[in-house]
A and B are shown apart, each in its own frame.
Chain A
Amino acid sequence: DTGVSQDPRHKITKRGQNVTFRCDPISEHNRLYWYRQTLGQGPEFLTYFQNEAQLEKSRLLSDRFSAERPKGSFSTLEIQRTEQGDSAMYLCASTTGETNTGELFFGEGSRLTVL
């Protein structure tokens, strides 16, 4: 059984460039989450999907950010016109079940550095 995988693990880009991160959840998991984590802080909720439907978005997710989960399996998080403040670890997590009492299974994250 493979866990949640994220790609790339590290990305260095110049300000103004676009970047895309991919998350492959555990195969039977229907809910998928994106979080952002900066140094010394806990994960901040960005958005989550139930199958292919994006059900909630944080106001942290500005119009430069877009997330998709087109077939209810893998998900992508795109950041357009990156800014230095976007530098962070982007975490993906997945879970299953009809209730919200289950644990979130996290990937190892994609670290973004914007120069």
Chain B
Amino acid sequence: AQSVTQLGSHVSVSEGALFLLRCNYSSSVPPYLFWYVQYPNQGLQLLLKYTSAATLVKGINGFEAEFKKSETSFHLTKPSAHMSDAAEYFCAVTHTGGFKTIFGAGTRLFVKA
């Protein structure tokens, strides 16, 4: 069975600074990995996904994530935080044999002016 662990339920960063949100997965078969963002009172929106092509994935608004099989990780980064990045971020995994997407517990990002 697959699972997702997000280290750090809250992360605080200064505006303009780089930030990294951690995600580790567990899957017995090759995974597909996703990062979603949720703004208050809104549904989740896809930021980026890894589906076994390039291990460095670029998403919308300058977000990137790197798939590292040896570390079973898929950490999300952005070089420069904006106030508008304040939201909750969810890492998710789907394994290649099924259609069920499993989400991590989420990391809430705070951006300080």
Q: Do chains A and B stick together as partners?
A: yes
* B-binding residues in A (CB < 8 A): 3-4, 31, 33, 35, 40-45, 48, 50, 55-56, 91, 93, 100-101, 103-109
Assess the B49–A100 pair: CB atoms within 8 A: no
Q: How many residues of B contact A (CB 8 A)?
A: 27
Chain A residue with the shortest CB-CB distance to B101 = A104
Assess the B43–A40 pair: CB atoms within 8 A: no
Query: Can you name 29 A-B pairs with beta carbons within 8 Å?
Result: A3-B43, A33-B101, A40-B105, A40-B106, A42-B4, A42-B6, A42-B103, A42-B105, A43-B44, A44-B103, A45-B100, A45-B102, A48-B100, A56-B98, A56-B99, A91-B44, A93-B43, A100-B96, A100-B98, A100-B99, A100-B101, A101-B49, A101-B51, A101-B94, A103-B46, A104-B44, A105-B43, A108-B43, A109-B43
Bound form: Cα–Cα A41–B32 in Å: 21
Bound form: Cα–Cα A62–B42 in Å: 27
Tell me the residues in window 52-91 of chain B with beta carbons closer than 8 Å to chain A beta carbons.
90
Residue among A41, A42, A56 making CB contact with B100, cutoff 8 Å: A56
* A-binding residues in B (CB < 8 A): 4, 6, 9, 32, 34, 36, 41-46, 49, 51, 90, 92, 94, 96, 98-106
Assess the A4–B43 pair: CB atoms within 8 A: yes
Measured between beta carbons, the chain B residues less than 8 angstroms from A109 are 43
Assess the A91–B43 pair: CB atoms within 8 A: yes
Assess the A40–B9 pair: CB atoms within 8 A: yes
Bound form: Cα–Cα A108–B45 in Å: 10
Assess the A104–B99 pair: CB atoms within 8 A: no
Chain A residue with the shortest CB-CB distance to B106 = A42
